[in-house]
Each structure stands twice: as structure tokens, then as C-alpha cells.
Amino acid sequence: MENDQESKNNMDVYRGVRKRKWGKWVSEIREPGKKTRIWLGSYEKAEMAAAAYDVAAFHLKGERPNLRLNFPELIHTFPKPSSSRPEDVQMAAHEAAMRFKPSIDDHPEECGVGPVRVGLSPSQIQAINESPLDSPKMWMELAGALLPVREYTCPTDYFEDETQHHHESIWDF
């Protein structure tokens, strides 16, 4: 019940935004002088869809006193489309929407392991292709590509002597 009221309030507040039955917020805008619309995207937050609408509205309708925007104070900080082609308007609208994307800190309960894209260098790909699957060299090359390089610092009470530092490799376990 509370979510229904919240979505109704957001639809009343944000221009050019509506909520789908399954919870996504969508935005589109009519092209000036045409019957066609430009699809601006489907987003997880109403503010994201509202920012997308603002970019498109400001670009297509121009800066006029009666232009109603969702975030008028931010419009000059949003990206501007390179042309009025629908693809360019969509790209700039999407970039503006991403500025309102919720961070992991906003929803820590939703944190988890998601898809990870890893780029391998040509030498790493060659090592993987040339080495048998049980080759330590192949696994070392792969581990170097997949594991982020960062130091782990333990709490100071973990060590008896704070000046002692211990770095372990994943291969030591």
C-alpha cells in the first residue's frame, strides 16, 4: 500500500515519467511537430527517468520561460545531445539518468556477486591457449588477470607488533 502511494506521488511530481506494472520507471517524449515519440528508457528509479526526460525536453523544446522541467536547477549540468537525432537524444538522456543511479551504499542488502567483465591481454590469452589446463603457468596468468590488485590491511589488534605486515598470496592457502 505504501509503495502504491509513493509511486502515485512520483508520477504526480515528475513530468514525462510513468511506472510500469512490474516496477520500472519509463520515460519518452513527443518530437516537436511530429506524432512520433522518442523512447528515453526504462529505469529503476523515477528520478532517473525524470532526468532523461529533462535532457530531451530541454534539447527539443529549447530554453523558454514556460518549459516545465523536473530538475531545472540541474539542467545546465546534464549532458547535451550532439544533434536532434533520436539516437543522440537517447544517449544524452541515458547519461543524465545514470547520475541518479542508486549506488551499492544506498541498498547494501542488494549487494552480491554480479557479472564481472574481465579483459585479458593478448599474451594472457595466448598463455591460456598454449598451456594445458593443469598447467601452473596458465593458472597464474589467469589469476593475475582476474584478481584485483589491492592490499589488505588487517585491524591493528590482529598483529602483536603493529609494525609487522603480512602479505599472503592466494596460492599459499
What SS3 state is found at 88? helix
Within 8 A by CB and 6+ apart from 165, the residues are 159
pLDDT digits 0-9 by tens, 58-97: 999 888 878 899 999 999 999 999 999 999 999 999 999 9
Listed residue (46, 54, 48) closest to 10, CA to CA: 46
Residue segments in the chain with a per-residue pLDDT below the cut of 70: 1-12, 104-121, 124-125, 127-129, 131-173
Q: Can you say whether residue 163 is alpha, beta or left, with left for phi > 0 and alpha for psi between -120 and 50 degrees?
A: alpha
What's the per-residue H, E or C state across 19-56?
Answer: ECCCCCEEEEEECCCCCCEEEEEEECCHHHHHHHHHHH
pLDDT value of residue 150: 52
pLDDT value of residue 137: 67
Q: How far apart are CA 123 and CA 127, in angstroms?
A: 6
Instruction: Kindly list the domain boundaries of the chain, sorted by start residue.
Output: 17-99
Q: How far apart are CA 65 and CA 102, in angstroms?
A: 31
What SS3 state is found at 87? helix
pLDDT value of residue 32: 87
pLDDT value of residue 104: 60
Q: Which CATH class is domain 17-99?
A: alpha beta
For residue 18, give the amino acid letter. R
Instruction: Please answer whether residues 21 and 73 qualify as being in contact, where contact means their C-beta atoms are separated by less than 8 angstroms.
Output: no
pLDDT value of residue 65: 79
Quick one: which H or E segment has residue 137? helix 136-146
